[in-house]
Structure 1
Amino acid sequence: MATIKDIASAAGVSLATVSRVINNGPKVGDATRARVKTIMQEMGYRPNANARALVTKRSASLGVVIPELLEPFFAALGQGIETVTRQQKVQILLSAGSIEQETERRAIETLLEHRVEAMVVHSKALSDAELIDFACQIPGFVLINRYIPEIANRCVWLDNEAGGFIMAEHMIKQGHSKLAVVSSNYQITDPQMRIDGIRRAANAHGIDIPDSHIEFSTPDQEGGELAMQKLLSRDVEFTGILAYNDAMASGAMTMLQDNNIAVPQDVSVIGFDDVLLAKYCRPKLTTLHYPVEMMAGLATRLALDFAMGKSCKEETHKYTPTLITRQSVAAPR
C-alpha cells in the first residue's frame, strides 16, 4: 500500500505539501494540488483517518451502541446520527448492545480498543456507576435515552413519565375512565416511568388502574397481540388501551379487530414513539411523538464536540414527547 512518502517522491514535492493536499490546506498551487491528487489516485493511496484527525483536530470516527438494528425506533435514531456524521465527514462504528449487561459492556470496550473518543451510547443494562466510569475514561461519551444526574450534561433523554401522563390525559379528556395498559416486559426504567405517568394522570381524575389492568409482554407487534389476548381472556373491562409503543399498539389493535371489537368505535388505542408504522395502521394511530432523530443529532454533535475538548456546559438535555392525534382514539359509546 502506498504511503505519504511514496506520493511525495512520485510527485517531486515535500511531505508537508502532500499533507496540505490531503487535508485541503493552503499554500499549494492548483497545478501541484491536481498533480498530487492524480498520483494518489493512480497509486491507490487512502489517507489514514486517525492521522488526519490529529491534523484537523476533528474526531475521525464516532462509536455508536444501540440495542438492535432492525427495530424502527432505532433505525430512526441511527438516521439522526448519520445525518450529522455525514455533514461532518465522520465515519460511524456501530455495535449492538442487545439490552444485556455483558454485551453492552463489550460493545463499548471494543470501541475503546479502536481508540474511539466520541461515542453515542444507548445503554439500559449497565449500572449508573459503570456508565459514569466510562464517561470519565472517554472524552466524548454521551448517553441517549437515559439520565444520570452525575453526568447530566452528557445525557440526552426523554421524560417518559411526562409521556405517560400526556397519553392518559388525552384518553381521559375524550371521556374514557376504564383504562388498560399493554407494556414492555423489558427490565428497564422506561416502561415503569410511563406507567407512573399514566397513573398520575388517572389519579388526578379519580380513576383507578389496578394491576390486573396492566399486561406485560415483548415490546413488538406480537407482544401487543399477546398482551391484548390476555386482557380479553380475563374479561378486563376497558374502553381505552394505552400501549408502551406503536408496535404494541398495532398488535393490540389486530387482536381487538380479530375479536370483532372495532377501533375506535368500541375501544380506543394510543401508542408511543410515532414511528412510520403509526401512519399506516388502520385506523391511523394516535400516538406520542418521540423526537428521537433530533435527540440523536444533538447527542452526536455533543459527542464530537466533547471529544475535541470543547467546553462542556453543565446543563441537561431533556425532551418531552408531544401528542399526535389521528384516528384510533374517539369518545366512548
Structure 2
Amino acid sequence: MITIKDVAKAAGVSIATTSRVINNAPHTSAKAQQAVQRAMKQLGYRPNANARALVSQSNYTVGVLVNNMSSPFFGTMVDAIDAIVTAENKQLLVGSGQHQADKEAHAIELLANSGCRSLIIHSKGLSDSQLLAYLNEFPAMVILNRVVPKAEDRCIALDNFQGAYMACEFLIQQGHRHIGYLCSSAPIEDARDRLAGHLAALKAYHIDLNDDAVAYGEPNEKGGEKTTTALLAKNLPITAIACYNDDMAAGCMSVLHENNIQIPTHVSVIGFDNSHIAQYLYPKLTTMHYPIKIMAEQAAQHALTLVHSELKTSACRLYKPTLIRRYSVGPVANSR
C-alpha cells in the first residue's frame, strides 16, 4: 500500500510539505506542489477522503514543542499559550523533544501532519540551519527562547547573558568577590550565555577568574547538590554561589543546610528563572525573573497572526530578566 511517506520520498520533500499539498494548505511553493502531484500520479496514490477532511480543520489547531512535559517552566509556557489559543476558539497540540535534534524534528513533523498551521517551537537540539529550513517551510512558525539568524522577526528570546551578568553584579555589590557558579552541563546556548554573562561581570569588576569556582552538572536539584558538594570539597573561600537556575539553587541550598552553612550569613545564593519553587525555599530565594508567561503569550499571538499575514517587525523581540530580591543574598561576612 502506497503511503504519504512514499510520496514524500519520491517528491524529495518532507512529509509535512506533502500533507500540505494534498490538503491544499496555503503557503506551499509551486515547485513543491508540482513535485508532490507528480509523485502521487507516478505512484498511484489516492489520499483517504476522511483523513483529508480531518486535516482541513487545521485552522483550529496550534502546535507547541517543549523540552519535557513535567517541567513547571514548560507548564507555565503551555498554559500561557493555551489561554491565547482558546480565546481564538482553537485547539492546542503539544509535543516534546527532550532537547534532542532527532526527537525535536520528529515532534515537529507529527505536529504538522496533525494539522497544525501555527507552530510555537522551543528547540535546543536542532541547528540554526535546520530551524531555518522549518521556518521557510512553515510560514506560521515562531521560535521561542532562541534567536535564529535570518529569521529574527519570528524569534522571541531572553537575554540570558545580561541576566547572569546582573545576578553576579548584585552579589559583587554586596561585597562578594569569591563567587562560585553552578553551570548547566547541557550543551545549549542558555548555559553558555549565562556562564559568559557571569564571567563578564567578574571581569568588569576586576575580579580574578577561578576555573575551580565553576562546577558543571545537570540543571536540576540533584545537579545542584552534586556541584555544591564538589565546590565545598575544594575548600575555596567562597562567600556566594550563583546558579544556572532555581532548581540547581534548591539543591545547592540543601547541601549548605546539611553542612550547617547558614544562608546568607555564611554563603549567599542566587538563582535564575524565578520558578514556583523559589519563594518556598528557606530562606526564600533571590533570583532573576524569567518572563516566560509574557514571552509565550507573545509567541502565540505572533504564530496566529502569521497564518493570515506577515509581522510588521523585522527584529527579534528580546526580553530582559529582572532581579527579584528575597532573603538568600546578604552582604559578605567579615569571616566565614
Query: Residues 125-159 of structure 1, C-alpha deviation per residue, up to 9 Å, x if partnerless?
Result: 10100100000000211000101121001100001
Aligned structure 1 segments of 4 or more residues deviating by more than 3 angstroms: 48-53
* Bigger mean CA deviation after superposition, 106-115 or 121-130: 106-115
Q: CA-atom RMSD, angstroms?
A: 1.3
Q: Is the 8 A contact 1:219 1:244 kept in 2?
A: yes
- Residues 224-233 or 107-116, more deviating: 107-116
Q: How does 1:21-60 map to 2 (within 5 A)?
A: 51=56, 59-60=59-60
Structure possessing the higher radius of gyration over alpha carbons:
1
Classify the secondary structure of the residue corresponding to 1:150.
coil
What SS does the aligned partner of 2:283 have?
Answer: coil
CA distance in 2, matches of 1:136, 1:171: 43
CA distance in 2, matches of 1:224, 1:290: 19
1:275-286 to structure 2, matched below 5 A, reads 275-286=275-286
1:286-321 CA-to-partner distances (Å, cap 9, x unmatched) read 000000010000001101110223445212210000
Q: Tell me which residue corresponds to 2:31.
A: none
Q: Distance in 2 between matches of 1:157 and 1:305?
A: 18
Q: Whole-Å Cα distance in 2 between the matches of residues 122 and 218 of structure 1?
A: 19
Tell whether 2:105 aligns with 1:105: yes
Could you list the per-position Cα deviations for residues 194-233 of structure 1 after superposition, in whole angstroms to 9, with x for gaps in the alignment?
Answer: 1111111111111123211100111111110111011111
What is aligned with 2:85?
A: 85
8 A Cα contact 1:180 1:209, kept in partner: no
In the superposition, the TM-score normalised over structure 1's length comes to 0.82
Indicate the residue corresponding to 2:195 in structure 1. 195
Segment drifting more, 222-231 vs 79-88 = 79-88
Is 1:73 the counterpart of 2:41 in the alignment?
A: no
AA in 2 matched with 1:88: E
Q: Write the distance in 1 (CA, Å) between the matches of 2:311 and 2:245.
A: 36
- Alpha-carbon distance, 1:72 to partner: 1.5
Change (3 A) 1:52 1:182: closer
- Report the AA paired with residue 114 of structure 1: S
Runs of 5+ consecutive residues of structure 2 not aligned to the other structure = 1-52
Output the CA distance in 2 between the equivalents of 1:84 and 1:49: 23
Partner residue of 2:306?
306
Give the TM-score taking structure 2 as reference length. 0.81
Q: CA deviation at 1:115?
A: 2.9
How far, CA to CA, are the matches of 2:112 and 2:86 in structure 1? 22
Q: Counterpart of 1:161?
A: 161
Matched, 1:274 2:271: no
Which residue of structure 2 aligns with residue 260 of structure 1? 260
Deviates more, 1:283-292 or 1:139-148: 139-148
Q: Distance in 2 between matches of 1:273 and 1:89?
A: 31
Structure 1 window deviating more from structure 2 (306-315 vs 175-184): it is 306-315
Task: Provide the rounded CA distance (Å) in 2 between the counterparts of 1:162 and 1:311.
Answer: 27
Q: Is the 8 A contact 2:302 2:311 kept in 1?
A: no
Aligned to 2:25: none
Identity of aligned residues (%): 35
The alpha carbon displacement at 1:75 in A equals 1.2
CA contact (8 A) 1:49 1:60 kept: no
Contact 1:306 1:312 in 2 (8 A): no
Contact 1:167/1:242 (CA < 8 Å) preserved in 2?
Answer: yes
Query: Aligned pairs, how many?
Result: 281
Q: Contact 1:67 / 1:97 at 8 angstroms: preserved in 2?
A: yes
1:319-330 aligned at under 5 Å gives the runs 319-330=319-330
